[in-house]
């Protein structure tokens, strides 16, 4: 039984840390590929300083890693399936949120999927 307790505690820690709306959006943005702080800040309408703070939390958990490429620092998810897991979680919570309609949930999922396609197309064109 102690191993279940350890796993449950670790999962609770991760869920607590990713539970901020900006971090969820950040994880979804990183799902589409490697990005700099300025790219993500502009796309998410978050100041670079605030975004860096969120990235630091995710790096501490081992969910995000950083790579220096020339003068730039590029961030990526260490486990991209986390972003997909969060999207799947939308279905779980959708019925609990009376202020969000099914069409709004579907639209959010579509937009995140389109972000991934657009990022791939941009990367292939470069």
Mean pLDDT of the chain: 86
Sorting pLDDT into bands at 50, 70 and 90, what band is 58? very high
* Encoded tokens for 61: 């958990």
Question: Token pair of 60, please?
Answer: 């501490």
Q: pLDDT (tens digit, 9 = 90+) per residue, 26-38?
A: 999 999 889 999 9
Q: Specify whether the CB–CB gap between 119 and 33 falls below 8 A.
A: yes
Distance CA 14, CA 16 (A): 5
**Distance from C-alpha of 56 to C-alpha of 62, rounded to nearest angstrom:** 10
CA-to-CA distance for 20 and 15, rounded, in angstroms? Answer: 9
The full set of domains in the chain, from first to last, is 2-125 (1.10.10.10)
């Amino acid at each position: 039984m102690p191993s279940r307790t350890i796993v449950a505690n670790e999962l609770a820690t991760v869920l607590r840390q990713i539970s901020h709306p900006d971090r969820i959006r950040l994880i979804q943005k990183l799902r589409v590929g490697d990005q700099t702080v300025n790219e993500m800040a502009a796309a998410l309408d978050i100041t670079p300083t605030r975004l860096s703070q969120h990235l630091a939390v995710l790096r501490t958990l081992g969910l995000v890693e950083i790579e220096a490429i020339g003068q730039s620092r590029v961030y990526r998810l260490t486990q991209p399936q986390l972003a997909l897991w969060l999207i799947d979680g939308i279905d779980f919570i959708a019925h609990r949120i009376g202020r969000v309609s099914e069409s709004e949930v579907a639209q959010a999922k579509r937009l995140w999927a389109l972000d991934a396609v657009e990022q791939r197309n941009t990367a292939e064109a470069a």
